[in-house]
Structures are given as structure tokens and as C-alpha cells.
Chains A and B, each alone.
Chain A
């Protein structure tokens, strides 16, 4: 299917002037209507956000510790790349193939320099044909209409044209199952792929699906296979760290993330994960430093969320730096705090009650009935528990501890909760809560 390039707008992302000029000449000779440039990561995001091009030609190495792969991940994270836009990675060396072969999030295609205008056109046409094939599916997936999306895939899979996209169809099927919360079906779909070929991303998919089913030991065994044999596959380290945390193995989680975070210093999602692991591991300084880095340097508009501010305050509290914690909380805007969901309000008031009793305790006390009655996230429960212990509200504290110890994240937060009780000299009370929860569980299973 020939593409009409007469009205196609290209964006060339490359930090090297000579390489930019080469890409411009090739794109224009291939017939591009217009070619715009972005010399770096930030410009690229700005241009794509404001006026999305039809084709992005992005060099893999962008300078300043950034890579084209990171740009792609960031664009997807903020939903800035419409399905119709073609994102083509350009690379001068073979090493990017290793990345593409391993990771989950891949560009539409990648092309190795040097290449002719004809080659570029051939590649773009193939990508356009593939996008056309999956167009209906992408639309439904984007709307989170997972049933409809899966139905489209099932129908397409059997067509003659579908044979060329067999693996991609299976992969999309697995991802949609995972997104829709059908972890067992996702696992089956990933295993179906592995029967055909041992792709690292499919093995990682199995691990993730098992994690969602809370089958942690199996999940861990699967992800270890991926991590040890694919050093370029950094996302696998994230998956492993999440599984380790769920298992309560926080030291291993932090170690795993420390190693990859050093190689990807500007991946702030990973920094957040590192902060979480370090905090659970009791390494409050690393947690603080990582969160401070996130809040200061994750420069995408809207990237630093209320949750991040609360996490930063939490790491300060964890490190015993109450003044810093108070500062973070007080600097959050009134309107921002007013509009928080209950779980975040709970965290906010609980953290403030610990950091600055005179400012926070009243609000915390005011929320008490809601905190007892409502379901909260794990992280908010730990915050409430900490504050309740600090104000010696035993009923509230013990209630949160019971919920935490009988919930899915029990292993993850066990160490933190025990430590909080120990700080108040109440280890025995915590042991008693554990015993009650265990009894209740046995009772349930009988």
C-alpha cells in the first residue's frame, strides 16, 4: 500500500547536527512534506505534544544520558503518541537490536544507518500496513473496551492477512488480558507464545501474570530466568523488584533496582520504585535521595503527582527528618489537598500529624471515623498506623495492623509494621495481632 508522503510531516530527533541533516535529506528525498527537528529529549516531547507529526525518526542515542528508548517509553507513559503516528528508531549500531529483542515496549520499527530513501519508504509502508491491520483493535484497547478488543483480535487472527502478525496478535492478546485483570488468561497467552519461542518479554509476561495471581514463588523463579540472561532488559529488573517486595525480600529488591537505576539515571518511574524498595528495606537515606530526585527532575508537566509529594514526605518521616516532611506537606497547595481521595487525605493528615502535631493532629482526629470505616490502600494504612501509634490511638492502630496483616500485601509491609510497633515498645501487641490474624485465616480455610 503506497503511502502518500505529500502531506506527511516528519520529526527528526537527534542530538548530532550531521545526523539530523542526513535524516532530513533522506526523509525529504523519500517525499516527506515537511521535516522538523528536535535536537534533544525535551524538545522532542514538546513538539510531539503540541503538534504530533505523522512520522518520528528518532536516534537511539540522544546525549545527556537519554536514549530514544526512554523517549518512547515516556511518550507512551503520558499517552502522547497516537496510534496513527509511526515511531521509527534509527540506530548506527547493532546493540539496539538486543534491546528490541528483549523489551516489552518496542517502537513500530527500527532501522540501521546508513539507509536509502527507498529502504525508508519500504519500511514505512510495512509499518503502515501493520497499523492498518490492528487499527480497530487499537481503538478499542485505548477505550479500555477489552472484550471488544479481544473479539477483534480473535477474528483477525484467523484471516489470511493475520498470518503475518501471528506473534504480535498473541502478544497483544496477553497484554489486554493483563490490563483487564485476567491474570490467568494472560499467563496462558504468554505460555502459548513461549511454546513457539523463548522470547524474554513473554517469559517476563508469565512472571507478571503469576505475580497478579499472588503466586509469588513461581513468579520469582520465572523472572530470575529472564534477568540473568538479559542484561539489557531493564524492565525485567523492575518486575523482579516488585515480586521481591511482595515476597518481603526488600534487600534483594533494592539491590536489583540499584544496579539498573545506575544505568538509567533519568528513568524516574524506576527511581520511584527504588525509593519504595529502599524505604521498605529501611534504607531511608536512599529512599529520600531517590524521591527528592524524582520531585526535582521529572520535568514532564504533571509527572510529579500528589502521590509523589506524599511519598517524599513519607521518606522524610522515615528518616526522622520531621522538619523536611512538614515543609513538603505544608507546601502542597490547599486546593490540591482539598481534592484528594480519601486514601491520600488519610496519608496527608497522618503524615502531618507525625511531622507537625499541632498542625496535623486535629485534621487526623477529624478523619478517624472515615479511617475506621473505609477501605484504604496499603500505603495509606501504614501511614495511618504510624500516626495512630504516635497519638496512642490503639483501636485505630490495631485495626489498621489487622487489615494489613490479613491483606495481600502482608509480606510486603510486615517488616515496616513490626518496626512501627517496636518503636512504641509494643512488639508483644503486634505478635498478638499476628496470632489473631493467623487464627482467623485457619478458621476461614476450615
Chain B
């Protein structure tokens, strides 16, 4: 079984190198000819992220995923999600705003949490009419992230979940600290009246 996984991981690795080459060539062409091909680059990065997420989901569903927890500057993480998504959302006329009031470092799996938030922002962007907001704050002794939009909201916040949401839920619950676990919450309403995705980490 593990041999099979090694084969898959190595294939993903090679593919990502190819995708990186494509992105670098596009970036260079943009700079040289004054073009904006950011949507093409976004598509490439999204493809790479999907590959990684597929492997992550596989591990999570087999219950053999382990986190790589490092101290992360929460504001930097939010900046990165905004950098990844803002331009793409702007192309569809959606504005991404963010508000991070956490100044501290937090122990979390940077890459997995970034992916979960990117996915949440992408989902929100698909359903939003004009606005998506990413917020991060401290509450009690936990770290909270919220992604909300002004779309129609979840059809059933307690209903069936997409792969992305299953990944998000598992990733949250794997974050454990002094006996407390992280969690994911879905709701409708919020300040924008649409879907509200929330991640709480201990």
C-alpha cells in the first residue's frame, strides 16, 4: 500500500515541477511584454493545490495524516490567502476584504490551514454576489478564522459535505493543544447575510 502511495506522491511531485515551470514562463512573459496573465497562473496554482489536497484527503480519510505544527504569524497567513485569492475574485467582480486582529504567533500547520482557508474563500467566491471577507481574531484561548460572503448561504449547513469541507473538518480536529481540539462550523447569516465558514483552533 505504501509503495502505491510513494508512486502517487512522486507523480504529484513531478507534475508540480512541470506546473511550476509553466507558471515561471508565464510570469516571465508577463513581465517582458507587460501582460496580465494572472488568471492563467491562478489556474496552474489551483491545479497544483488540488493535487496536493487530493493526497492530503487520502491521508486524512485513512487516518494516517500527521500535522506539521510550527509557530505561524497569523497576520502573515491571512496576507497570503488574500494574495492567493484577491486578484482572481476581482476578475469575477468580487471584492475580498480581510481583517486580522491577531498579532501573535500561533502553533498550527501552516500549509494545511492555508489550504483550508483558500478553499473556503474560493467556495465563498463562487456563491458571493459582491463581497467575501476573511477575519481572524482571538477569543478565549482560541484562534478563530471566519470566511463569510453575501451569497445565498449554505443550502443545508448541517447537510452533506464536499471533499474540501471534510478536509477542513478533519484538519481542524487534528489540531490539538492541552486536551482541546479544533473544530469547523458552518452557518448562514453573519454580517454579510450569506454563508459563514468558521474555523476554531486551540
Contacts and interface: CB of A to CB of B under 8 A. Distances in A.
Nearest to B9: A93
B179 to A, nearest CB: 11
| B interface: dominant SS | helix
B20 A92 contact: yes
Interface of A: 16, 18-19, 21-26, 28-29, 92-95, 97-98, 100-101, 112-119, 122, 126, 160, 163-168, 196-199
Contacts of B104: 163-164, 166
A422 B78 CA distance: 68
23 contacts: A18-B18, A19-B17, A22-B24, A25-B24, A25-B28, A92-B17, A93-B12, A95-B9, A100-B68, A101-B70, A112-B52, A112-B111, A113-B17, A115-B23, A122-B80, A122-B83, A163-B103, A163-B104, A164-B104, A166-B105, A167-B71, A168-B71, A199-B107
A201 to B, nearest CB: 10
Interface residues of B, number: 45
Contacts of A95: 9
B103 A114 contact: no
**Listed residue (B25, B70, B83, B107) with the most chain A CB atoms within 10 angstroms of its CB:** B70
Interface in B77-102: 79-80, 83-84
B111 A94 contact: yes
Contact of B48 (A114, A164, A199): A114
**Listed residue (A93, A126, A164, A198) with the most chain B CB atoms within 10 angstroms of its CB:** A164
Interface string B38-49: 000100110010
A404 B75 CA distance: 55
A197 B52 contact: no
B166 interface: no
Nearest to B41: A116
Interface of B: 9, 12-13, 16-25, 27-28, 30-31, 41, 44-45, 48, 52, 55-56, 66-71, 73, 75-76, 79-80, 83-84, 103-105, 107, 109-111, 177
A29 B23 CA distance: 11
A160 B84 CA distance: 27
B79 to A, nearest CB: 7
B89 to A, nearest CB: 15
Given A29-B28, A94-B52, A100-B70, A118 B21 contact: no
